[in-house]
């Protein structure tokens, strides 16, 4: 946020001058079609889903194997060339935006499914495999991979690991870090290292855990082993329409406080309901001020028992409408509406998508404050988010062609993220820090915290060549 001219450090002139020689070397390290140098073709890699900034990289390298990744990184390490790893480029925080003096290292050609083991419930894939393809590979045997970001059709497991991605169904099953068993990773100096394994624990220090969510700064993951889970017997989303945001917020807080863990609790305010319903015709209640989509799963008896407790909490908080999905088609429509929320919003306005977390007990308070903050800047907001784990996504609506409005939107976003930290939450839930929230890190962490994080980063990449200018304030 508060993006400006100092967003990137000065490009290394020496590297820019040596571009031709560098590109010539890189060409020898990757198999055919593995290097893009044409400016027009590189344009697709200038930015990511954050889109606020664009930079033309030195070149785009698309290795076809771990060994090629190793050769490229070793060369870049030895010659001081910065590297920006990239999965599908769906980052909402600018995590995959290159700099002029860096190469983009794209994993899009590494899409192999390497091993499926149903006995021990894991699957091993290359890092460029999309999130949804992992589930597709095991679905016919009744299994699935749990974390389900809304971008799951496009985003890759490598990017999911870099951002510790979540999704609507992570309330019950945990986020990426809870479902990852091992990785093969290449360090910046070209060393290939295996972290974790196929099963429980691994002895020694938990290097795997620290790689998850490290936004491409510790190494380049080329293979991942993830846990697969047995799909539930059945699942049933239920729509809860409320005449007040407080009623919905308090319902979430009370469900969590009661220790009930549905598969998903998603929240939409009136603006989001209208936008999503217009796009998806999912049957969301248009007269509601706030909507909860709560999904339960299991046997019919289990679902009925859990729903009974949830409905009783919702009634005590004045719920207006309760509508259970009665068919697979209806269920698909309900989730399609929710998962298309960002795209649907993009059709009606430009928006900044925030990604902060707050304790669920503070949801109602924070929602009211967000409305106040955005109103103060003369803007509008739509709220659609993973309420069960307090992971908020206020979408601040503005006109991107009006620089004054853009500044206001960014300032409002800053205020909202600071609010999240103030109530005991944090700057990011699942989108990462990237470029977007880098300069707010000082608000979440003190000097001691940041110093220790930088020391840990140096233990992996002493020259800080991997995804420099992201996550940590430039002068950190």
| Subset of 367-396 contacting a copy of itself (CB under 8 A) | 389-391
Identity of the residue, 357 or 414, whose beta carbon is nearer to a copy of itself in the bound complex: 357
**H helices present in 258-402, as ranges:** 270-280, 300-316, 328-339, 341-348, 363-376
Subset of residues 39 to 98 that bind a copy of itself, contact rule: CB under 8 A: none
Contact stretch for a copy of itself (CB under 8 A) within 154-162, 274-282, 338-346, 446-454? 446-454
Subset of residues 122 to 181 that bind a copy of itself, contact rule: CB under 8 A: 142-143, 164, 174-175, 177-178
Contact stretch for a copy of itself (CB under 8 A) within 43-51, 271-279, 357-365, 405-413? 357-365
Identity of the residue, 63 or 356, whose beta carbon is nearer to a copy of itself in the bound complex: 356
Q: Own/partner pairs for 191-196, CB < 8 Å, 24+ apart?
A: 191/70, 192/66, 192/67, 192/70, 193/219, 196/225
Subset of residues 183 to 242 that bind a copy of itself, contact rule: CB under 8 A: 187, 191-195, 197-207, 209-210, 212-214, 218, 229-231
65: left (phi over 0), alpha (psi -120 to 50) or beta: beta
CB-count burial class (<10 Å; 0-12, 13-18, 19+) for 365? middle
Residue from 237, 348, 379, 363 nearest 290 by CA: 363
Identity of the residue, 78 or 206, whose beta carbon is nearer to a copy of itself in the bound complex: 206
**H helices present in 317-440, as ranges:** 328-339, 341-348, 363-376, 403-422
Which member of 2, 21, 56, 257 binds a copy of itself (CB under 8 A)? 257
Residues 6 or more apart from 167 whose CB is under 8 A from it?
Answer: 147, 148, 149, 150, 152, 175, 386, 430
355: left (phi over 0), alpha (psi -120 to 50) or beta: beta
Identity of the residue, 38 or 120, whose beta carbon is nearer to a copy of itself in the bound complex: 120
Print the binding letters for residues 396-425 with a copy of itself: x by CB under 8 A, - otherwise. ----------------------------xx
**H helices present in 148-269, as ranges:** 157-163, 170-173, 176-179, 207-211, 245-257
Q: Is the distance from CB of 123 to CB of 228 less than 8 angstroms? A: yes
Which member of 16, 286, 305, 332 binds a copy of itself (CB under 8 A)? 305
Contact stretch for a copy of itself (CB under 8 A) within 54-62, 340-348, 358-366, 397-405? 358-366
Which member of 47, 130, 325, 444 binds a copy of itself (CB under 8 A)? 444
| Binding status of residue 260 toward a copy of itself by CB under 8 A | yes
Least distance from C-beta 202 to a copy of itself, angstroms?
5
Which member of 147, 161, 445, 469 binds a copy of itself (CB under 8 A)? 445
């Amino acid at each position: 946020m508060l993006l400006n001219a100092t967003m990137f450090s000065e490009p290394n002139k020496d590297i820019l001058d040596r571009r031709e020689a560098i590109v010539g070397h890189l060409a020898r390290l990757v198999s055919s079609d593995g290097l893009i140098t044409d400016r027009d073709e590189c344009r697709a890699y200038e930015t990511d889903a954050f889109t606020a900034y664009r930079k033309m990289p030195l070149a785009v390298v698309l290795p076809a194997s771990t060994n090629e990744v190793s050769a490229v990184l070793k060369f870049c390490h030895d010659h001081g060339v910065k590297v920006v790893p990239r999965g599908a480029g769906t980052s909402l925080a600018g995590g995959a935006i290159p700099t002029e003096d860096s190469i983009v290292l794209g994993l899009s050609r590494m899409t192999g499914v390497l091993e499926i083991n149903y006995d021990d419930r894991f699957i091993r894939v290359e890092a460029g495999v999309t999130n949804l393809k992992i589930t597709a590979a095991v679905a016919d045997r009744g299994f699935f991979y749990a974390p389900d970001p809304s971008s799951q059709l496009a985003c890759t497991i490598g990017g999911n690991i870099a951002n510790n991605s979540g999704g609507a169904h992570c309330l019950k099953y945990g986020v990426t870090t809870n479902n990852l068993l091992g990785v093969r990773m290449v360090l910046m100096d070209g060393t290939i290292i295996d972290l974790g394994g196929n099963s429980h624990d691994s002895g020694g220090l938990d290097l795997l855990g620290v790689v998850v969510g490290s936004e491409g700064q510790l190494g380049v993951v080329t293979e991942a082993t993830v846990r697969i889970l047995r799909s539930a017997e059945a699942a049933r989303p239920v729509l809860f329409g409320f005449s007040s945001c407080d009623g919905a917020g308090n319902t979430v807080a009370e469900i969590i406080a009661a220790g009930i863990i549905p598969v998903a609790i998603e929240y939409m305010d009136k603006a989001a309901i209208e936008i999503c319903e217009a796009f998806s015709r999912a049957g969301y209640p248009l007269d509601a001020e706030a909507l909860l989509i709560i999904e339960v799963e299991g046997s019919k008896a289990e679902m009925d028992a859990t729903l009974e407790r949830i409905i009783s909490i919702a009634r005590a908080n004045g719920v207006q409408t309760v509508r259970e999905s009665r068919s697979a088609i209806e269920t698909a429509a309900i989730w399609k509406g929710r998962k298309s929320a960002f795209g649907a919003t993009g059709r009606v306005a430009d928006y900044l998508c925030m990604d902060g977390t707050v304790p669920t007990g503070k949801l109602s308070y924070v929602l009211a404050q967000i409305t106040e903050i955005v109103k103060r800047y003369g803007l509008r907001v739509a709220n659609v988010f993973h309420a069960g784990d307090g992971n908020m996504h206020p979408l601040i609506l503005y006109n991107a062609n009006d620089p004054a409005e853009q500044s206001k939107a960014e300032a409002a976003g800053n205020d909202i993220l600071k609010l999240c930290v103030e109530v005991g939450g944090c700057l990011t839930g699942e989108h990462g820090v990237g470029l977007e929230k880098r300069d707010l890190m000082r608000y979440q962490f003190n000097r001691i915290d940041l110093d220790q994080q930088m020391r840990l980063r140096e233990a992996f990449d002493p020259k800080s060549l991997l995804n420099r200018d992201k996550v940590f304030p430039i002068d950190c």
